[in-house]
Amino acid sequence: MIFSPVRVAALAGLVLVLAGCGGTDRTAAGPPPTTTAVPASPVVAGTPSSAASSTAACQQTKAWSQTKIINWVGAMAATDPPGNVVLGGDKAVVSVCTKVPVQVEFWLVGLTSFGSKVSFTLTSALRKQAAVDGRRPVTVKTPKDFTAVDCRGTLTAVYVGKPMAKAELPVTLDFGGSSSGTVEFNTDRVAYSELRMPGTGDDLRQCHI
């Protein structure tokens, strides 16, 4: 059979087209690309910060009555041998979230006697305001030469609120008992007090006018 040149060229073109299609089919039929799964990083729950833990452990005082605050302050208040006031110390007390302001005041007690009667005067030697939260101890040091000697005693008090008014000071002291002890003030704002005397009874009666 004899083909014309034009028909031969057409057949050759058809063969090339079919060959190209066959190559495309072989590529499509190849194996699918492989993928590697990457495991997700584990999620670690965050640990609470020390500040958050501290806040959670403390108590809010907004709903506390004044009596509760006074009792809380009194439970942590003490004086060391030199007479410094220590708030906190080694005592286990509830910690609060907001510091509570307190007044710490020191008075010199002047003693005089007439016959068997002993009278006294109070002179404020120092007053300081401190802020306490029960988490760490706070020390308020006494003023210089704040000692019970000769005819002079000392009185220390820790209280809440404004500075102590004259009408709130004690009007009587127990001169017949121990040389140290607590004092009754004319106010319920006092959380802690300590009176130190140079002696008792007959010792104080030697402080003549």
Domain ranges of the chain: 65-206
- pLDDT tens digits, 15-43: 444 344 444 444 444 555 554 454 454 44
Q: Flag whether pLDDT at 180 surpasses 80.
A: no
Lowest mean pLDDT among 2-6, 83-87, 152-156: 2-6
For tokens 């190209």, the residue is 20
- Tell me the pLDDT tens digit for each residue of 96-109: 999 999 999 999 99
What is the SS3 assignment for 99?
coil
pLDDT of residue 173: 85
Instruction: Identify whether the C-beta of residue 60 lies closer than 8 Å to the C-beta of residue 96.
Output: yes
Q: In degrees to the nearest 10, what's the CA dihedral of 190, 192, 198, 201?
A: 70
What does the pLDDT read at residue 17?
Answer: 40
CA-nearest of 76, 71, 195 to 140 is 76
What is the pLDDT at residue 80? Answer: 92
Q: What is the pLDDT of residue 32?
A: 53
pLDDT in tens, 131-163: 999 988 999 999 999 999 988 999 999 999 999
> What are the beta bridge partners of residue 157?
105, 193
Higher pLDDT, 201 or 50: 201
Residues 6+ apart with CB under 8 A from 70: 159, 160, 188, 189, 190, 191
Greater confidence (46 vs 75) lies with 75
> Which structure tokens are listed for 101?
């302001």
pLDDT-derived band at 113, boundaries 50, 70, 90: confident
Whose CA is closest to 100, among 127, 77, 126, 124? 77
Share of the chain above pLDDT 90, in %: 49
Report whether 162 contacts 178 (CB < 8 A): no
